[in-house]
């Protein structure tokens, strides 16, 4: 029994020791667990606190929604002809026309609210019901699949935040939405939203979307069209009727059903809308101008005044000076004239025409090339070409205005040389002959070179250049001896504008393609009402006009004769690289240029009087068909300087 007793005794002695170890182990584990739990709790609390502090700091730096009081979204600029016909629309990424809420169809407003935010007029920027629904959907899917955003939150996202889905962004949306609803009325928010939302195909806002999808204003949309358009907001490029008519129709039915469930329409209205035929319009973004040379020239002028960014985003309404009927006449004249030149063996690949009203200096027609589809280079305003003898009227006017000459004064058409650096310059006439003593009138009529150079030297080339500047010519001009023969590069626009001042008797306004520019609210940004100033001596101009009429009646420009008094000047450069005719009546001045873009010679014997004057005449006969005959004023009416 002893072993057993001993064994039991030993067991009794060992039990307290074993219990102490267990207690020690349990106590240690308990301490570790307690410490770990405390650490986790403290860490979690720190993370939450840090996160809240981070959010607080972030949200403290959120944008101030009050800046929307002066918010002006980017808008499409529209260009019209002088009678209000739309020629082109210009925009960057966003094709948008902002309109007030009361100009948007009630049907569209209801449809958008039904599918996007039916409790819009009852919540204060955030919809708890919508958020709860979205939370449940996201929890069940394990990902962010539904936003639960109100229209106010969507507007905030579009204007201030990135589209990335994240908890912090959603909280920021909510905070800003609450702020926005404190500053703006519901109608103001809805108006901002409907003008801001993206509807696909670069259409932003209800108006441009309605014009694109249905070819009508948003104010005229019916229930069927409104439901289809409202349904596009969720995914406009995928649901677009231009891309997937069936998806667009299915989405329309969903919107209509939602409207009926809300009791905003009756079942009969729903059924009728589903059956209503939808007539689609055309995608309006980035469409080509109906008169591309016109709009290109207008864009060039607008960009100089306002800058490219303002042009593409400023929502300008630009009324140009262009007469569409006259423009079409000009374009057809250029095409027909070019065909005739080729038929006559004249190898010129391009032509330009500019017509200006001398009374206003408004450009009435502008053609920058034979075929815009083949070349978009606008030679009327971009090509700098030598005018040749068409420059001589500036020299002759300077001589007449000096008071030293009349059109009957004699000038010598005899050999002469002038020092030109280390050499001598000896001007020659086109035919190589000399006519001796000749009147200014006859020298201009038959375009003699030597008398023009002599006059330039006697009057002073800087004086001639000053007159060119007075007439609106801005291209660089150097006082070289051959300047009177047109050794300078000018545009057809500059030539037409300068000659228009001769046609007006010396009254000048800035030559322009723009009548007026307003913003989308009708505020005038630019008013180009003509403010003519008398910049030339009336007697000298009248004398010049008298001589230039002789160019057409008995000089180098007889092929330009009209059924009325007209004045003009031929132009032919050396090697026949450029040939011109620039002429006018008191109501219209027109410059026509012919040449090759690569400056290749047109052909031996090609002159402005032979080949360009008939083209000028063709256009002028059409343009002046219903315009009364008017005479130029006589020099006898004015006092000689």
pTM of the model: 0.74
pLDDT class of 40 with cuts at 50, 70, 90? very low
Who has greater pLDDT, 613 or 25? 613
Spatial distance between the Cα atoms of 491 and 7, rounded to a whole number of angstroms: 125
Q: Is residue 193 over pLDDT 80?
A: yes
Spatial distance between the Cα atoms of 577 and 477, rounded to a whole number of angstroms: 19
Distances (CA, A) of 285 to 6, 98, 103, 148, 419: 105, 15, 22, 31, 61
Residues 6+ apart with CB under 8 A from 54: none
Round the CA-based radius of gyration of the chain to a whole number and report it.
40
Residues 500 and 589: beta-carbon distance below 8 Å = yes
Q: Is residue 454 over pLDDT 70?
A: yes
The helix/strand/coil state of 144 is coil
Q: Is residue 289 over pLDDT 60?
A: yes
Who has greater pLDDT, 309 or 241? 241
- Sign of torsion over alpha carbons 400, 406, 407, 410: negative
Mean pLDDT of the 568-585 span: 94
- Kindly report which listed range (15-19, 188-192, 225-229) carries the lowest average pLDDT score: 15-19
Residues 581 and 566: beta-carbon distance below 8 Å = no
Q: Is residue 335 over pLDDT 90?
A: yes
Strand pairing report for 524-527 and 533-534: unpaired
Mean of pLDDT over the chain: 86
Residue numbers annotated as active site: 116, 389
Q: Is residue 3 over pLDDT 70?
A: no
């Amino acid at each position: 029994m002893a072993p057993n007793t001993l064994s039991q005794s030993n067991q009794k002695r060992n039990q307290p020791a074993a219990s102490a170890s267990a207690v020690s182990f349990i106590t240690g584990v308990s301490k570790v667990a307690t410490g770990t739990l405390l650490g986790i709790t403290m860490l979690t609390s720190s993370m939450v606190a840090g996160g809240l502090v981070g959010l607080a700091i972030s949200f403290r730096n959120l944008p101030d929604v009050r800046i929307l009081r002066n918010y002006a979204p980017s808008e499409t600029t529209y260009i019209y002809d002088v009678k209000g016909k739309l020629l082109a629309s210009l925009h960057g990424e966003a094709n948008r026309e902002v309109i007030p809420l009361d100009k948007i169809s009630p049907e569209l407003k209801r449809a958008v609210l039904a599918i996007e935010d039916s409790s819009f007029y009852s919540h204060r920027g955030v919809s708890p019901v919508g958020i709860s629904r979205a939370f449940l959907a996201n929890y069940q899917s394990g990902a962010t699949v539904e936003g639960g955003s109100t229209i106010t939150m969507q507007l905030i996202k579009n204007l201030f935040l990135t589209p990335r889905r994240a908890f912090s962004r959603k909280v920021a949306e909510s905070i800003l939405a609450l702020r926005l609803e404190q500053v703006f009325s519901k109608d103001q928010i809805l108006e901002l939203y409907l003008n801001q939302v993206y509807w696909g195909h670069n259409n932003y806002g209800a108006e441009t979307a309605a014009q694109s999808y249905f070819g009508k204003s948003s104010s005229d949309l019916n229930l069927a069209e409104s439901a289809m358009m409202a349904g596009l907001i969720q995914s406009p490029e995928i649901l677009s009727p231009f891309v997937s008519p069936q998806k667009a129709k299915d989405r329309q039915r969903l919107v209509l059903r939602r409207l009926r469930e809300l009791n905003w329409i009756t079942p009969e209205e729903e059924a009728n809308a589903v059956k209503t035929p939808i007539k689609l319009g055309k995608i309006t973004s980035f469409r080509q101008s109906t008169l591309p040379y016109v709009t290109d020239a207008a864009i060039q002028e607008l960009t100089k005044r306002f800058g490219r960014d303002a042009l593409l985003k400023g929502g300008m309404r630009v009324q140009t000076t262009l007469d569409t009927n006259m423009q079409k006449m000009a374009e057809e004249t250029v095409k027909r004239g070019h065909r005739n030149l080729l038929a006559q063996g004249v190898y010129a690949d391009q032509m330009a025409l500019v017509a200006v009203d001398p009374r206003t200096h408004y450009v009435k027609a502008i053609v920058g090339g034979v075929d815009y589809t083949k070349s978009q280079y606008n030679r009327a305003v971009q090509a700098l070409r030598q005018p040749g003898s068409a420059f001589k009227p500036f020299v002759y006017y300077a001589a007449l205005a000096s008071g030293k000459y009349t059109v009957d004064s004699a000038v010598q058409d005899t050999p002469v040389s002038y020092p030109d650096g280390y050499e001598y310059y000896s001007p020659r006439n086109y035919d190589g002959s000399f006519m001796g003593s000749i009147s200014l009138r006859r020298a201009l009529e038959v375009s003699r070179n030597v008398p023009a150079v002599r006059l330039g030297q006697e009057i002073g080339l800087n004086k001639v250049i000053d007159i060119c500047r007075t007439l609106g010519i801005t291209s660089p001009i150097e006082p070289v001896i051959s300047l009177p023969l047109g050794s300078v590069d000018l545009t057809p626009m500059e030539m037409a504008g300068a000659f228009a001042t001769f046609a007006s008797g010396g009254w000048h306004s800035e030559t322009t393609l723009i009548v007026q520019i307003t913003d989308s609210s009708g505020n005038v940004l630019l008013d180009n009402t003509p403010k003519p100033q008398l910049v030339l001596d009336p007697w000298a101009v009248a004398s010049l006009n008298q001589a230039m009429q002789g160019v057409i009646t008995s000089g180098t420009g007889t092929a330009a004769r009209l059924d009325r008094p007209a004045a003009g000047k031929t132009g032919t450069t050396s090697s026949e690289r450029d040939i011109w005719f620039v002429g006018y009546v008191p109501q219209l001045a027109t410059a026509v240029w012919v040449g090759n873009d690569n400056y290749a010679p047109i052909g031996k014997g090609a002159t402005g009087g032979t080949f360009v004057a008939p083209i000028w005449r063709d256009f002028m006969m059409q343009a002046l068909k219903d315009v009364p005959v008017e005479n130029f004023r006589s020099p006898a009416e004015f006092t000689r300087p």
